[in-house]
Protein backbone atom coordinates (compact mmCIF):
# COMPACT_ATOMS: atom_id res chain seq x y z
CA UNK A 1 0.00 0.00 0.00
CA UNK A 2 1.32 3.46 -0.95
CA UNK A 3 0.90 6.09 1.74
CA UNK A 4 1.87 9.56 0.54
CA UNK A 5 3.13 10.78 3.91
CA UNK A 6 5.42 7.75 4.21
CA UNK A 7 6.32 6.83 0.60
CA UNK A 8 6.33 10.07 -1.43
CA UNK A 9 10.07 10.67 -1.04
CA UNK A 10 10.78 7.20 -2.38
CA UNK A 11 8.54 7.82 -5.41
CA UNK A 12 9.66 11.32 -6.43
CA UNK A 13 13.40 11.82 -6.83
CA UNK A 14 15.20 14.88 -5.53
CA UNK A 15 18.57 16.45 -6.07
CA UNK A 16 20.41 18.59 -3.52
CA UNK A 17 22.47 21.41 -5.00
CA UNK A 18 25.06 23.04 -2.76
CA UNK A 19 25.72 26.65 -3.74
CA UNK A 20 27.28 28.34 -0.71
CA UNK A 21 30.34 29.78 -2.45
CA UNK A 22 28.18 31.22 -5.23
CA UNK A 23 26.19 33.23 -2.67
CA UNK A 24 29.20 34.56 -0.78
CA UNK A 25 29.70 31.88 1.87
CA UNK A 26 32.97 30.06 2.57
CA UNK A 27 31.86 26.53 1.66
CA UNK A 28 29.37 25.18 -0.88
CA UNK A 29 27.61 23.04 1.76
CA UNK A 30 26.66 26.13 3.80
CA UNK A 31 23.79 26.94 1.42
CA UNK A 32 21.70 24.42 -0.49
CA UNK A 33 18.55 24.00 -2.49
CA UNK A 34 16.78 20.68 -3.01
CA UNK A 35 14.73 20.31 -6.18
CA UNK A 36 12.25 17.55 -6.84
CA UNK A 37 11.69 15.61 -10.03
CA UNK A 38 9.85 17.59 -12.70
CA UNK A 39 6.20 16.60 -13.26
CA UNK A 40 5.39 14.70 -16.46
CA UNK A 41 3.51 17.48 -18.29
CA UNK A 42 6.27 19.97 -17.50
CA UNK A 43 8.80 17.48 -18.88
CA UNK A 44 7.04 17.72 -22.23
CA UNK A 45 6.96 21.51 -21.97
CA UNK A 46 10.67 21.48 -21.14
CA UNK A 47 11.41 19.61 -24.36
CA UNK A 48 9.36 22.14 -26.34
CA UNK A 49 11.15 25.06 -24.66
CA UNK A 50 14.53 23.51 -25.40
CA UNK A 51 13.63 23.16 -29.07
CA UNK A 52 12.64 26.85 -29.24
CA UNK A 53 16.01 28.06 -27.93
CA UNK A 54 17.91 29.09 -24.83
CA UNK A 55 15.77 32.15 -24.02
CA UNK A 56 12.61 30.02 -23.97
CA UNK A 57 14.41 27.41 -21.88
CA UNK A 58 15.49 30.00 -19.30
CA UNK A 59 11.97 31.43 -19.11
CA UNK A 60 10.61 27.91 -18.62
CA UNK A 61 12.99 27.22 -15.73
CA UNK A 62 12.36 30.62 -14.16
CA UNK A 63 8.63 29.87 -14.05
CA UNK A 64 9.08 26.23 -13.01
CA UNK A 65 11.69 26.65 -10.29
CA UNK A 66 9.44 27.85 -7.43
CA UNK A 67 7.20 24.79 -7.83
CA UNK A 68 10.03 22.23 -7.71
CA UNK A 69 11.90 23.62 -4.70
CA UNK A 70 11.28 21.08 -1.95
CA UNK A 71 13.81 22.27 0.62
CA UNK A 72 16.41 25.02 1.12
CA UNK A 73 18.24 26.92 3.82
CA UNK A 74 17.88 30.51 2.57
CA UNK A 75 16.46 33.07 5.01
CA UNK A 76 15.38 36.69 4.71
CA UNK A 77 16.15 37.24 8.41
CA UNK A 78 17.42 34.89 11.10
CA UNK A 79 13.84 33.76 11.72
CA UNK A 80 12.08 34.15 8.37
CA UNK A 81 12.75 31.61 5.63
CA UNK A 82 12.66 32.87 2.04
CA UNK A 83 9.69 31.85 -0.07
CA UNK A 84 10.31 29.58 -3.05
CA UNK A 85 9.45 32.45 -5.39
CA UNK A 86 11.94 34.80 -3.74
CA UNK A 87 14.64 32.13 -3.82
CA UNK A 88 13.99 31.45 -7.52
CA UNK A 89 14.29 35.19 -8.22
CA UNK A 90 17.59 35.32 -6.32
CA UNK A 91 18.95 32.38 -8.31
CA UNK A 92 18.10 34.06 -11.61
CA UNK A 93 19.87 37.28 -10.59
CA UNK A 94 23.27 35.60 -11.07
CA UNK A 95 24.29 33.84 -14.28
CA UNK A 96 26.73 31.57 -12.41
CA UNK A 97 24.08 30.61 -9.87
CA UNK A 98 21.49 30.03 -12.59
CA UNK A 99 23.89 27.84 -14.56
CA UNK A 100 24.92 25.80 -11.51
CA UNK A 101 21.32 25.12 -10.48
CA UNK A 102 20.03 24.29 -13.97
CA UNK A 103 23.06 22.22 -14.97
CA UNK A 104 23.11 20.20 -11.76
CA UNK A 105 19.36 19.68 -11.95
CA UNK A 106 19.34 18.60 -15.60
CA UNK A 107 22.26 16.23 -14.95
CA UNK A 108 20.30 14.49 -12.17
CA UNK A 109 19.57 10.80 -12.61
CA UNK A 110 15.91 11.35 -13.47
CA UNK A 111 16.98 13.28 -16.57
CA UNK A 112 19.67 10.87 -17.71
CA UNK A 113 17.55 7.73 -17.99
CA UNK A 114 17.55 6.34 -21.48
CA UNK A 115 14.93 4.46 -23.45
CA UNK A 116 15.34 2.20 -26.49
CA UNK A 117 13.34 3.01 -29.57
CA UNK A 118 13.98 1.45 -32.95
CA UNK A 119 17.39 0.17 -31.87
CA UNK A 120 18.61 3.62 -30.83
CA UNK A 121 19.18 4.98 -27.35
CA UNK A 122 17.20 8.16 -26.79
CA UNK A 123 18.26 10.29 -23.81
CA UNK A 124 15.35 11.79 -21.93
CA UNK A 125 17.57 14.61 -20.72
CA UNK A 126 17.45 18.05 -22.21
CA UNK A 127 20.93 19.44 -22.73
CA UNK A 128 21.43 23.18 -22.36
CA UNK A 129 24.01 25.06 -24.38
CA UNK A 130 25.39 26.15 -21.01
CA UNK A 131 26.16 22.52 -20.11
CA UNK A 132 29.93 22.86 -19.91
CA UNK A 133 30.10 26.29 -18.29
CA UNK A 134 29.46 25.37 -14.65
CA UNK A 135 31.03 22.37 -12.96
CA UNK A 136 28.77 19.83 -11.31
CA UNK A 137 30.18 19.50 -7.81
CA UNK A 138 27.12 18.05 -6.13
CA UNK A 139 25.48 14.69 -6.41
CA UNK A 140 22.00 13.21 -6.30
CA UNK A 141 20.69 12.86 -2.76
CA UNK A 142 19.96 9.21 -3.32
CA UNK A 143 16.29 9.69 -2.56
CA UNK A 144 14.28 7.55 -4.94
CA UNK A 145 15.88 5.30 -7.50
CA UNK A 146 19.40 6.00 -8.72
CA UNK A 147 18.64 5.52 -12.39
pLDDT on residue 39: 84
CA distance 125 to 56: 17
pLDDT on residue 110: 65
Pair 125, 100: CB distance under 8 Å: no
Asked, for residue 86, whether it belongs to a domain, the answer is yes
Q: What's the pLDDT tens digit per position in 95-124?
A: 999 999 998 998 886 665 543 334 333 334
Average pLDDT rounded to a whole number, residues 28-38: 94
List alpha helices for the chain, DSSP H: 4-11, 40-52, 54-68, 84-91, 95-106
Asked, for residue 129, whether it belongs to a domain, the answer is no
Asked, for residue 140, whether it belongs to a domain, the answer is no
Asked, for residue 143, whether it belongs to a domain, the answer is no
Structurally, the chain folds into a number of domains equal to 1
Asked, for residue 73, whether it belongs to a domain, the answer is yes
- Domain ranges, residue 71: 4-123
Asked, for residue 88, whether it belongs to a domain, the answer is yes
pLDDT on residue 83: 97
CA distance 136 to 142: 16
Q: What's the pLDDT tens digit per position in 57-76?
A: 899 999 999 999 999 999 99
Asked, for residue 136, whether it belongs to a domain, the answer is no
CA distance 17 to 29: 9
Q: What's the pLDDT tens digit per position in 79-101?
A: 999 999 999 999 999 999 999 99
Asked, for residue 128, whether it belongs to a domain, the answer is no
Amino acid sequence: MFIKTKNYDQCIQKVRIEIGTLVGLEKDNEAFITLKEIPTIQMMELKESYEKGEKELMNFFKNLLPSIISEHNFYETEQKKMSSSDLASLIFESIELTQKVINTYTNASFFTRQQRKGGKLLPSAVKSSMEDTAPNSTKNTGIGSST
